[in-house]
A and B are shown apart, each in its own frame.
Chain A
Amino acid sequence: MASTNCWRCLARPSQRLLLAPVSVAAASAPTSATFSTSAQQLSSKASSDGSKHIRSGKRLVLGRKKRNPDRTKPPQPGERKAFRKRIQLSNDNALKVPGLDVLSSEGVVNPESVGKIFGLPVEVVDQLRACEAFKSSQNWSLFRSPHTLVRKETVDLAKQMTDAIEKKETLRLVLTGNRGSGKSILGLQALATGFLNKWVVINIPEGQELTTASTEYAPTPNSEMFSQPVYTVKLMQAIHQTNHQVLSQHKVQLDHMQLPISVTRNMTLAGLLNATKEPDFAWPVFQAFWKELLLPGRPPILFSLDGLAHIMRISEYRSPAFELIHSHDLSLVRMFTDALGGKTAFPNGAAILGVTAKGNAPMIPSMEKAIAQAAAAQKGEEPPSRDPFFRKYDERVFDTLRGVKVLDVRGVSKTEARALMEYWAASGILRSRIDERSVSEKWTMSGNGVVAEMERVVLHDLRET
């Protein structure tokens, strides 16, 4: 009868016999092998719930709360991320702001439109959404429909882009600026300008996605590069969706014999993009598409990337030799850096935009130094020299950013701030009189008109009331 002894609670067998009738039944079961516990366990399982541990004596129960198992389904894989990345572009609770113009290709370059709020055209909104230009950190969901403030920088940038493209030149430009100063919004406005002007717009919404080893990668045959097939498919779909109207007017001109899919001459570029959804074929097809775009007579290109710092460092991918791959060895990134570095010739004119980020960005000393040098060269000043005793400068970053233009985004002026606040007030967010005094106050509080800070200050007031 040794097995009747409960080894866990170390109760005396006699006591246990008295207190636990269930085990008594078990004990009375035929005991063929007294030293074996298996039969015992089996029999006890039959009589009672075997998973329940039986204790003798009084038990202290704290709180008779019954745990209700959550009947709701757990979120599907990817559902949480989708919720996190959800972009809400309209809010029915917000007031409609009447009397605002819609952004047009002429309005963007017009200096008179500085300091005015413009609505984005519906088709452009769709295109921007398709190319993921809107970000969840931007408070689009507070307003009834997407509107943007046209700032001095916006007009400046749009003018630079249109001028360069008119002259069939390439504008290579990096947007820098303090945190929350509106760099990404300016990038969005540039993209909108591209859509309005019927350019081919290619947007990589997050440079981070390419280098943090979050998408698949594969070595490209006959080269030391690595392609990212799944991301390329996604990008091709986005390009097809956004630029369908432009690309369907142009037909394939080259023979693409090496492609795994058959490409005929009467195929449009849009058809070429849409020809395959197979990740294995994605990179060659995208390369063919890029070659077609660079032919003379094609529409101008606007190539933009947000989060420049992420593609200026060593990526988290590993080569077959288990060495970290430099981001510039990823073929898609290489395509962008070649374009930004001026290695690619664009016969139809192009604008290459690199948007830096301050929030989620690694510190890249080489990039900072290269941008500082480029900015100084732009102003005609003596470029700051590199630190001679710093070893980790990346020559490829310097090559990429050599000779780029730098647009430093700062706080908005007071007239722009006033327009912005009037828009907010008209949308019902800001419930106060908007006059010069209140505008000036918010402008000062936000560190001389840093847009994101202005928003914070205004919402801070809202919270108090």
Chain B
Amino acid sequence: MSSLRYGIRCLRPRPSSTAKQWPSLISSTQSRDSAPRRALATTTPRRQDDSALTSALEAMESSSEGVITTFARPMPVSPAYFSRLPQFNDSFVHVQELARKYARLPTLHPSQVERVAWKTKEQYRITIGEHVKARDYATCIALVKRLNQIHPDLMPEEVKAGLRPFKRDINIYLNQPKPIPVDKFGRSHGVGKRKSSVARAWLVEGTGEVLINGKPMNEAFGRIHDRESALWGLKTTERLDKYNVWALVGGGGTTGQAEALAMAIAKALVVHEPPLKTPLRRAGCIARDPRTVERKKAGHIKARKSPAWVKR
């Protein structure tokens, strides 16, 4: 009987509070119906059990009818409300409808479409807070991309709005790198990194002199290999006798410093001569080498080395 009571309590409309509702209900029951008072008692009456309960419920409904609304609970906005992924399902269905609707609009070749940064699966999950399945998201985003190929002049507003939840807030493809200027002394500045070394190089047209931390090349790098790798960008592009290099290098060892310097010089060279970027990239001077020392792990002697296995 107590469970029944709880069920009845749950059924009551939200805005009203039980404390006031029950007495009024009881009073109204008493006043309007001729149902016996025992029906609401906790002790079970021996006879006409069911009939009493139904009559009580009826009484309750009839009492609440006039008080607030006709619904016992608010209607969900979306039919997908009770599914696991209501938002995603809504937008998926919407996108599918759009795709069906605008399937015949002329499209651009994918290479001609302006690049859009779509949300990745993880990003989408985080924004809507639903654990979207990878497969579903993949099919959805394929449809979205297909819709995005519609010619921009004919793109309906509806589609634009429909695609919005899948776009990243910031389109990274619109970012423009900050141009590095050549300063009033004809110098261009480049920064390079490798391992834990950082190099800053100032490149100015000259006769091929090099000063690293104020020292000539042979004092800065004892190994000829290092000297060569430091000036690799200039050497491969045959610009060694056209520029003077003034550089500051710090951190790491000699190899790291030399290769950081190679990157810095290449970047500074690109400022003077932008068409050299591709050959320099091919020479391996533009890309930052991401390899660094792997961290040591707990339970290991080094990063990967395990302690020697000992029987017992």
Whether A and B touch directly in their complex, counting CB atoms under 8 A apart, is answered as yes
Residues of A within 8 A of B (CB): 178, 180, 411, 414, 436-437, 440-441, 443-448, 450, 453, 456-457, 460
A447 B218 Cβ-Cβ under 8 A: yes
B209 within 8 A of A: yes
Instruction: Pick the most buried of A411, A445, A453: most chain B CB atoms within 10 A of its CB.
Output: A445
Given contacts A436-B241, A450-B218, contact A443 B224 (CB under 8 A): no
Residues of B within 8 A of A (CB): 207-210, 216-219, 224-225, 227-228, 231, 235, 238, 240-241
Q: Within the assembled complex, what's the spacing in Å between the Cα atoms of A440 and B216?
A: 15
Taking CB atoms, residues of chain A closer than 8 Å to B217 are 444-448
Could you jot down 18 A-B contacts, CB within 8 Å? A178-B219, A436-B241, A437-B238, A437-B240, A437-B241, A440-B241, A444-B240, A445-B217, A445-B227, A445-B228, A446-B217, A447-B219, A448-B216, A448-B217, A450-B218, A456-B224, A457-B227, A460-B224
The closest CB in chain A to the CB of B209 belongs to A448
Taking CB atoms, residues of chain B closer than 8 Å to A457 are 224, 227
Q: Within the assembled complex, what's the spacing in Å between the Cα atoms of A457 and B221?
A: 12
B216 A445 Cβ-Cβ under 8 A: no
Taking CB atoms, residues of chain A closer than 8 Å to B228 are 445
A444 B218 Cβ-Cβ under 8 A: no
Taking CB atoms, residues of chain B closer than 8 Å to A411 are 216
Given contacts A448-B209, A456-B224, A460-B224, contact A441 B218 (CB under 8 A): no
- Which of A440, A453, A460 is within 8 Å of B208, CB to CB? A440
The closest CB in chain B to the CB of A442 belongs to B240
Q: Within the assembled complex, what's the spacing in Å between the Cα atoms of A411 and B218?
A: 11
B224 A450 Cβ-Cβ under 8 A: no
B231 A445 Cβ-Cβ under 8 A: yes
- B243 to nearest A CB, angstroms? 10
Q: Within the assembled complex, what's the spacing in Å between the Cα atoms of A448 and B244?
A: 11
- A412 to nearest B CB, angstroms? 13
Q: Within the assembled complex, what's the spacing in Å between the Cα atoms of A180 and B217?
A: 13
- B1 to nearest A CB, angstroms? 94
- A47 to nearest B CB, angstroms? 51
Instruction: Pick the most buried of A440, A441, A460: most chain B CB atoms within 10 A of its CB.
Output: A441
Q: Within the assembled complex, what's the spacing in Å between the Cα atoms of A445 and B231?
A: 8
Q: Within the assembled complex, what's the spacing in Å between the Cα atoms of A437 and B241?
A: 7
Taking CB atoms, residues of chain A closer than 8 Å to B216 are 411, 447-448, 450
- B249 to nearest A CB, angstroms? 15
Taking CB atoms, residues of chain B closer than 8 Å to A180 are 218
B238 A444 Cβ-Cβ under 8 A: no
- Which of A437, A444, A453 is within 8 Å of B209, CB to CB? A444
Taking CB atoms, residues of chain A closer than 8 Å to B224 are 445, 456-457, 460
Taking CB atoms, residues of chain A closer than 8 Å to B238 are 437
Taking CB atoms, residues of chain B closer than 8 Å to A436 are 241
Instruction: Pick the most buried of B217, B218, B227, B235: most chain A CB atoms within 10 A of its CB.
Output: B218
A440 B240 Cβ-Cβ under 8 A: yes
B241 A441 Cβ-Cβ under 8 A: yes
Taking CB atoms, residues of chain A closer than 8 Å to B227 are 445, 457
B219 A444 Cβ-Cβ under 8 A: no
Q: Within the assembled complex, what's the spacing in Å between the Cα atoms of A137 and B108?
A: 73
Q: Within the assembled complex, what's the spacing in Å between the Cα atoms of A446 and B216?
A: 9
A441 B209 Cβ-Cβ under 8 A: no
Which 7 A-B residue pairings sit nearest by Cβ, starting from the closest? A447-B218, A440-B241, A447-B216, A447-B217, A453-B218, A444-B208, A460-B224
Taking CB atoms, residues of chain A closer than 8 Å to B235 are 441
The closest CB in chain B to the CB of A441 belongs to B240
- A413 to nearest B CB, angstroms? 11
The closest CB in chain B to the CB of A456 belongs to B224
- A177 to nearest B CB, angstroms? 12
The closest CB in chain A to the CB of B245 belongs to A444
Taking CB atoms, residues of chain B closer than 8 Å to A414 are 207
- B219 to nearest A CB, angstroms? 7
The closest CB in chain A to the CB of B244 belongs to A444
A443 B218 Cβ-Cβ under 8 A: no
Q: Within the assembled complex, what's the spacing in Å between the Cα atoms of A446 and B207?
A: 14
The closest CB in chain B to the CB of A181 belongs to B218
- B226 to nearest A CB, angstroms? 10
Instruction: Pick the most buried of A436, A444, A448: most chain B CB atoms within 10 A of its CB.
Output: A444
Further 19 A-B residue pairs, CB within 8 A, beyond A444-B209, A444-B231: A180-B218, A437-B240, A440-B207, A440-B240, A441-B240, A441-B241, A444-B208, A444-B217, A445-B217, A445-B227, A445-B228, A447-B216, A447-B219, A448-B216, A448-B217, A450-B216, A450-B218, A457-B224, A460-B224
Q: Within the assembled complex, what's the spacing in Å between the Cα atoms of A460 and B225?
A: 9
The closest CB in chain B to the CB of A439 belongs to B241
- A267 to nearest B CB, angstroms? 52
Q: Within the assembled complex, what's the spacing in Å between the Cα atoms of A103 and B216?
A: 32
Taking CB atoms, residues of chain A closer than 8 Å to B208 are 440-441, 443-444
Q: Within the assembled complex, what's the spacing in Å between the Cα atoms of A446 and B231?
A: 12
- B231 to nearest A CB, angstroms? 7
Taking CB atoms, residues of chain B closer than 8 Å to A456 are 224
- B268 to nearest A CB, angstroms? 16
Q: Within the assembled complex, what's the spacing in Å between the Cα atoms of A165 and B16?
A: 122
- B201 to nearest A CB, angstroms? 14
The closest CB in chain A to the CB of B241 belongs to A440
- A411 to nearest B CB, angstroms? 8
Q: Within the assembled complex, what's the spacing in Å between the Cα atoms of A457 and B228?
A: 9
The closest CB in chain B to the CB of A180 belongs to B218
Taking CB atoms, residues of chain A closer than 8 Å to B231 are 444-445
Taking CB atoms, residues of chain A closer than 8 Å to B218 are 180, 446-447, 450, 453
Q: Within the assembled complex, what's the spacing in Å between the Cα atoms of A448 and B217?
A: 8
- A238 to nearest B CB, angstroms? 34
Taking CB atoms, residues of chain B closer than 8 Å to A440 are 207-208, 240-241
Q: Within the assembled complex, what's the spacing in Å between the Cα atoms of A445 and B241?
A: 11
- A178 to nearest B CB, angstroms? 8
- B246 to nearest A CB, angstroms? 13
The closest CB in chain B to the CB of A444 belongs to B208
Taking CB atoms, residues of chain B closer than 8 Å to A441 are 208, 235, 240-241
Q: Within the assembled complex, what's the spacing in Å between the Cα atoms of A375 and B238?
A: 39
Taking CB atoms, residues of chain B closer than 8 Å to A444 are 208-210, 217, 231, 240-241
Q: Within the assembled complex, what's the spacing in Å between the Cα atoms of A148 and B88?
A: 84
Taking CB atoms, residues of chain B closer than 8 Å to A453 are 218
Taking CB atoms, residues of chain B closer than 8 Å to A443 are 208
Taking CB atoms, residues of chain A closer than 8 Å to B207 are 414, 440
The closest CB in chain B to the CB of A454 belongs to B218
Q: Within the assembled complex, what's the spacing in Å between the Cα atoms of A448 and B225?
A: 17
Taking CB atoms, residues of chain B closer than 8 Å to A445 are 217, 224, 227-228, 231
The closest CB in chain B to the CB of A458 belongs to B224
Taking CB atoms, residues of chain B closer than 8 Å to A447 are 210, 216-219
Q: Within the assembled complex, what's the spacing in Å between the Cα atoms of A63 and B269?
A: 62
Q: Within the assembled complex, what's the spacing in Å between the Cα atoms of A450 and B67?
A: 102
- B203 to nearest A CB, angstroms? 13
Q: Within the assembled complex, what's the spacing in Å between the Cα atoms of A433 and B236?
A: 17
The closest CB in chain A to the CB of B220 belongs to A447
- B116 to nearest A CB, angstroms? 47
Taking CB atoms, residues of chain A closer than 8 Å to B225 are 460
